[in-house]
């Protein structure tokens, strides 16, 4: 054993050993000249599955999907130059949505860095705005520390992406690794425990509140505190609304669920939070798609804001009680003091709003209605199914109508809003959970962005199910054209595409539906199929408001400017209540 420990190995083999030590079981990567050494070492690993996507962006999004589904850092790998730059969109997505990721890149040899060598790219510099930290490893001896720290940084505090760049000569260098060396890690771990005084202040405000609301975001998912949130709601009886990143943290069939708020959120959720006297903001960032006109958002409410990232507190909205610390610990402390609140009148009022402004859509008759497809899929799919989406109308309809019950069952590029996310993210989640149903609900525009990953599904036998809501348009952009540009089409018509035929060319089982009565049996056949599947759902893009994602709050406006599901402006049909 001692002789084995003192044996010289190449840097590339040390990289793999360190990744194995970090618990990595899957890497999504595309080889090239500057990363070939790492790929050669990966062929010898007995612990790591190497998945070859058909584009580096697919690798990065697959790593995001793996991370979203598991909570563990996803790992992607690319060569230098164009391979590395193709990862950037996925890295930026991970940064925007606080997704733990370690991106590994090959680099040209250290001797030619800075000479504009073939496929040289300063990927550390290029990604500085969208990583938590980055490493350019300059000696083979630095490999263990760089990799170990990368995983610590990616997964602690507010999760996010870390880049590790390995020059080719460092991969090739022989050395005797020393794993016994103790390393100092000052400043790597953020403050975790919330201040007790702030906990007490928050609970004092809560006890006095008459119209409290919980505004829950992706931080609830990241901190694994969904159970603590549910316990807190059960104890107190406070209604809950979630951001798009928070979907699944609280069951949407619960009477106290207000579903999603914001630009395309439920009208009743936006009414409730803007008429609350206390907002418990848990793991949220008060982003513009939620607040609309910031100075008018919750202007009469006191705000308790809990976040692990101190820079988010008071960034957009001033908190009356700021609590910086781990959300799970904070909710545990809340639960120690929580008791049933006397807010029955408030809850009854909210229930009336829920009935008055319920989500709705046109009944399917001769044409397929996309919202109805999502509702039927939600009813048919297993309760633990993982749903991935691209970006556009289909994304918002899924958020509105699917009915999420559990955390880590919803994956969306929310902060960056990157088309092409859905298919590769579903691929990453399916590899993490091979026995669960994983479904990509996509639009034709988004699906085309990374359609090459169908070959990965076929080659690797990854049984992702794809439902393509196909209306021949960039639907969300066309909707904005209808609303704000007199329906002038500025290059938003895509033309017809037959995704069933494309899938068949890749050797994937597929079908097309064009009539409402075909939808349910087609969904059942898709869910029953053991391998990957593509269901092409064709429906027309409907002009003006029929077929739009509603409700909708125009950018920079308030909830009173919401266009309801009926196409009415809220302030024209509803009067702001006067509370005592």
Residues 261 and 209 occupy one common structural domain: yes
Residue 214: closest CA among 197, 195, 233: 233
pLDDT tens for each residue of 339-392: 999 999 999 999 999 999 999 998 898 999 999 999 999 999 999 999 999 999
Residues 42 and 164 occupy one common structural domain: yes
Residue-level pLDDT, tens digit, the chain, 580 residues: 344 567 899 999 999 999 999 999 999 999 999 999 999 999 999 999 999 999 999 999 999 999 999 999 999 999 999 999 999 999 999 999 999 999 999 999 999 999 999 999 999 999 999 999 999 999 999 999 999 999 999 999 999 999 999 999 999 999 998 877 766 665 677 668 999 999 999 999 999 999 999 999 999 999 999 999 999 999 999 999 999 999 999 999 999 999 999 999 999 999 999 999 999 999 999 999 999 999 999 999 999 999 999 999 999 999 999 999 999 999 999 999 999 999 999 999 999 999 999 999 988 989 999 999 999 999 999 999 999 999 999 999 999 999 999 999 999 999 999 999 999 999 999 999 999 999 999 999 999 999 999 999 999 999 999 999 999 999 999 999 998 999 999 999 999 999 999 999 999 999 999 999 999 999 999 999 999 999 999 999 986 556 899 999 999 999 999 999 888 999 999 999 988 7
Classify residue 458 as exposed, middle or buried by CB count within 10 Å of its CB (0-12, 13-18, 19+).
middle
Residues 233 and 271 occupy one common structural domain: yes
Within a domain: 188: no
Residue 340: closest CA among 444, 463, 209: 209
How many helices and strands, by DSSP H and E, does the chain display? 25, 20
Residues 421 and 457 occupy one common structural domain: yes
pLDDT at 182: 67
Within a domain: 271: yes
CATH number at residue 348: 3.40.50.1220
Label residues 493-529 b or e (16+ Cβ within 10 Å = b): ebeebebbebbeebebbbbbbeebeebbebbeebbeb
Residues 348 and 379 occupy one common structural domain: no
Nearby residues of 180 by Cβ (< 8 Å), 6 or more positions away: none
Residues 513 and 473 occupy one common structural domain: yes
pLDDT tens for each residue of 238-260: 999 999 999 999 999 999 999 99
pLDDT tens for each residue of 291-335: 999 999 999 999 999 999 999 999 999 999 999 999 999 999 999
Asked if residues 235 and 253 have their Cβ atoms less than 8 Å apart, the reply is no
pLDDT at 543: 61
Name the region of 574 (left: φ>0; alpha: ψ -120 to 50; beta: rest): beta
Strand partners, 441: 389, 467
Domain containing residue 534: 370-538
Q: How many domains does the chain have?
A: 3
Say if residue 556 is preceded by a cis peptide, omega within 30 of 0. Answer: no
CA distance from start to end of the chain: 76
Two tokens at 263? 């630009």
pLDDT at 185: 66
Two tokens at 395? 């994304």
Residues 150 and 53 occupy one common structural domain: yes
Within a domain: 562: no
Residue where one domain finishes, among candidates 140, 175, 210: 175
Phi then psi for residue 406, to 5 deg, are: -130, 150
Q: Where are the beta strands (DSSP E) in 168-228?
A: 174-175, 212-216
Active-site residue numbers? 56, 118-119, 168, 476
pLDDT at 2: 41
Residue whose tokens read 């999760």:
159
Residue 325: closest CA among 311, 310, 338: 310
Residues 67 and 208 occupy one common structural domain: no
Pairwise CA distance, residues 143 & 40, whole Å: 17
Classify residue 115 as exposed, middle or buried by CB count within 10 Å of its CB (0-12, 13-18, 19+).
exposed
Within a domain: 552: no
Residue 574: how many CA atoms within 13 Å on its side-chain side?
Answer: 19
Within a domain: 570: no
Residues 35 and 91 occupy one common structural domain: yes
Within a domain: 477: yes
Within a domain: 447: yes
Residues 154 and 275 occupy one common structural domain: no
Within a domain: 449: yes
Q: Where are the beta strands (DSSP E) in 80-184?
A: 101-107, 133-136, 161-167, 174-175
Residue 35: closest CA among 167, 174, 161, 124: 167
pLDDT at 184: 65
Residues 210 and 343 occupy one common structural domain: yes
Residues 10 and 139 occupy one common structural domain: yes
CATH number at residue 61: 3.40.50.970
């Amino acid at each position: 054993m001692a002789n084995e420990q003192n044996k010289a190995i190449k840097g590339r083999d040390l990289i793999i050993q360190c990744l194995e030590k970090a618990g990595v079981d899957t890497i999504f990567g595309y080889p090239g000249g500057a990363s070939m050494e790492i790929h050669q070492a990966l062929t010898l690993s007995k612990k790591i599955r190497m998945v070859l996507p058909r584009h580096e962006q697919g690798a990065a999004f697959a790593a995001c999907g793996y991370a979203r589904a598991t909570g563990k850092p996803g790992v992607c790998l690319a060569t230098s130059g164009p391979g590395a730059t193709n990862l950037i969109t996925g890295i930026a997505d991970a940064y925007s949505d606080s997704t733990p990721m370690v991106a590994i890149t090959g680099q040209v040899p250290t001797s030619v860095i800075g000479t504009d060598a073939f496929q040289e790219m300063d990927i550390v510099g290029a990604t500085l705005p969208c990583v938590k930290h980055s490493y350019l490893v300059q000696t083979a001896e630095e490999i263990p520390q760089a990799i170990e720290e990368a995983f610590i940084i990616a997964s602690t505090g507010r999760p996010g992406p870390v880049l590790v760049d390995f020059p080719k000569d460092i991969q090739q260098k022989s050395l005797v690794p020393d794993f016994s060396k103790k390393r100092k890690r000052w400043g790597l771990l953020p403050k975790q425990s919330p201040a007790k005084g702030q906990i007490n202040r928050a609970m004092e405000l809560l006890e006095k509140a008459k119209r409290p609301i919980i505004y829950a975001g992706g931080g609830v998912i990241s901190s694994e505190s969904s159970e603590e949130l549910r316990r807190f709601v059960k104890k107190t009886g406070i209604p809950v609304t979630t951001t798009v990143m928070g979907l699944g943290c609280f069951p949407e069939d619960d009477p106290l669920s207000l579903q999603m708020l914001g630009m395309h959120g439920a009208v009743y959720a936006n009414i409730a939070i803007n008429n609350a006297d206390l907002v418990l903001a848990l793991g949220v960032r008060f982003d513009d798609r939620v607040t609309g006109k910031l100075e008018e958002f919750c202007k009469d409410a006191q705000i308790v804001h809990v976040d692990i990232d101190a820079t988010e507190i008071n960034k957009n909205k001033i908190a009356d009680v700021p609590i910086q610390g781990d959300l799970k610990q904070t909710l545990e402390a809340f639960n120690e003091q929580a008791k049933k609140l006397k807010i029955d009148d408030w809850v009854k009022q909210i229930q009336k709003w829920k009935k008055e402004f319920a989500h709705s859509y046109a009944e399917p008759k001769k044409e397929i209605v996309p919202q109805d497809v999502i509702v039927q899929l939600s009813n048919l799919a297993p309760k633990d199914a993982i749903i991935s989406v691209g970006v556009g109308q289909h994304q918002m309809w899924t958020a509105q109508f699917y009915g999420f019950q559990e955390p880590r069952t919803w994956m969306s590029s929310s902060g960056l809003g990157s088309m092409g996310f859905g298919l590769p993210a579903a691929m990453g989640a399916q590899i993490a959970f091979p026995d669960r149903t994983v479904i990509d609900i996509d639009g034709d525009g988004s699906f085309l962005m990374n359609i090459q990953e169908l070959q990965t599904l076929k080659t690797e036998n990854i049984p992702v199910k794809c439902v393509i809501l196909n209306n021949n348009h960039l639907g969300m952009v066309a909707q904005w054209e209808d609303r704000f540009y007199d329906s002038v089409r500025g290059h938003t018509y895509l033309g017809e595409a037959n995704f069933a035929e494309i899938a068949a060319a890749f050797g994937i089982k597929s079908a097309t539906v064009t009539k409402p009565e075909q939808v349910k049996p087609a969904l059942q056949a898709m869910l029953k199929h053991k391998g990957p599947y593509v269901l092409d759902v064709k429906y027309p893009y409907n002009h003006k408001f029929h077929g739009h994602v509603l409700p909708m709050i125009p950018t920079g406006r308030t909830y009173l400017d919401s266009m309801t599901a009926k196409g009415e402006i809220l302030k024209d049909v509803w009067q702001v209540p006067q509370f005592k």
